[in-house]
Structure formats: structure tokens, C-alpha cells
Amino acid sequence: MTPEEIGGMLAQSLEDDRLSRTERQALTETIGELDSLAARQEVLRMAFELARKRLEDPRADLIFEWLEDVVRILGAKHHEPLKTSSQAHFSPGDDCLDAILRLLNQARQTAVICVFTITDDRVSRAILDAHARKVSVRIVTDNEKAEDLGSDIERFEASGIPVRVDRSPFHMHHKFAIVDGRSLLTGSYNWTRGAANDNEENLIVTDDPRLVLPFVETFERLWTRLGHENP
């Protein structure tokens, strides 16, 4: 089945905001026939694109239930072992910083960033460069850190990058990014010079879809919730 045909199957299944038993079985069989990680990731991209177009729908909760069903099917075990790559990085030093810059510089289509604080100008330049290359960049961050001295959040917004801020009494404390829907970077490392120069921090970079998919889903949930809470 071609990507266009799978996209049509997804769109049809979303018409009533749910995956019926028949639709779930058909999608499971179709996904089971895909012979590469790239093909499954393309289905995931199409599913999120369909859901994103409907996020303003008052039935958004139902749409996310549909999306969760699709993600579960994509993450199901298949007889062929997944060929994945993962690396660990540590600071102080430039190891974590270089990993972030490599990932952002490799972005071709999308980059979603969910980070507590961003003040390192080297990282900020890479984000702005990705935006200038027409990569679709979106950022989620915390309100207290967005207003800190040295924060680059206003700079991103001024450049036209969509930003959503958690303004709850609690902290949006995640530190992760996903590039092109297939490469995940996550760990304790905040995107600051202090984290690079002084702190004991860590980052993992992986393309394992069993890890990437839950983070993609988490970002989209946060993006939708903060869009409703922060007009």
C-alpha cells in the first residue's frame, strides 16, 4: 500500500473521531506489512498532521484518543527486530552541547523543542538557523524561565517561531527535542552555558520509535493544552 493510500485510510478513520474495531484491524495489518522504520515514521507524521489540523475542534479529546490508538499500533511489536541507534552524552564539557547542535543542524522538516530554559546563544543560533531553513520549529517552555535574564524566548517569538508557555503554578520541567519525527534528544541537561561549563548533566539521543513516539505524543498534548490555556 502506498503512503497516499495509508494517508487516505487514516483520514477516513478520523471522520468519526475514533478507530473502529474494523479500522484498527485494517491499520494493524497495513502497518505490519511496512518493512522499514522510515515508512512507519512517515505514517506517524501523517497521523499527527491530520490531528493537528483538527486541534481547534471542540472534540479534541476524542481526536487524541484516535491518535493514541494509531501510536499504539505503530509501536506494536513486529517479527522483524528494529535497527536503532542510541548515544549517551555527559557534561561538563561540550559533549551535550555538540549533540544538541548536531541534531538541530540535521533538521530538515520539523523540530519540536520542550525545554525548561534556553539561554545558551550557541543553541539559540542553531534554532534560528533551522527556522531560517524553513524547518517547522515549535517550542514549549516554562513561564518563569521564559522571563529570566538571558532567556531567548522573546527572540524566538520575534523571529516568527511559535512558542507556548506553561503559566501554571507548577513547572514545565521537561528537557527534550524531536527532529523530523524520528530523532529524540532528552536528559537532565538544560540548554544553558552553566549546564555545559559547570554542571554534571546527561543527554540521550535515540531514533528508537518505542521511545520517540511517547515523547511526540507528550509534546502534542502539551502544545494543545497550553494553546487553550494561554491565548
Q: Give the model's confidence band at 43: pLDDT under 50 very low, under 70 low, under 90 confident, else very high.
A: confident
> Which three cell numbers mark 93?
564539557
What is the band of 34 on the pLDDT scale with cuts at 50, 70, 90?
confident
pLDDT of 94-133, one tens digit each? Answer: 999 999 999 999 999 999 999 999 999 999 999 999 999 9
Lowest average pLDDT, out of 11-20, 62-71, 135-144, goes to 62-71
Q: How far is CA 105 from CA 66, 99, 111, 131, 195, in A?
A: 33, 10, 10, 11, 20
173 is catalytic: yes
Residue 88 has φ and ψ, to the nearest 5°, of: -110, 140
Number of C-beta neighbours around residue 85 at 10 A? 9
- Active-site residue, from 78, 171, 173, 228: 173
Give residue 179's identity as a one-letter amino acid code.
V
Q: Taking CA 215 as the corner, what is the angle to CA 210 and CA 219, rounded to the nearest 5 degrees?
A: 155
What are 196's three cell numbers?
555545559
**Residues 6 or more apart whose Cβ sits within 8 Å of residue 38:** 182
Catalytic residue among 152, 166, 180, 207: 180
pTM of the model: 0.70
- Strand, coil or helix: what is 126? helix
Sign for the CA dihedral angle at 58, 61, 65, 67 comes to: positive
Active-site residue (options: 89, 142, 175, 207): 175
- Segment 158-175, tens digit of pLDDT: 999 999 999 999 999 999
Joined together, the cell numbers standing for residue 155 give 527572540
Other C-beta atoms closer than 10 Å to the C-beta of 48 total 20
> Is the model more confident about 39 or about 141?
141
Q: Label the pairing between strands 136-142 and 110-115.
A: parallel
114: nearest Cα among 165, 56, 159, 53: 165
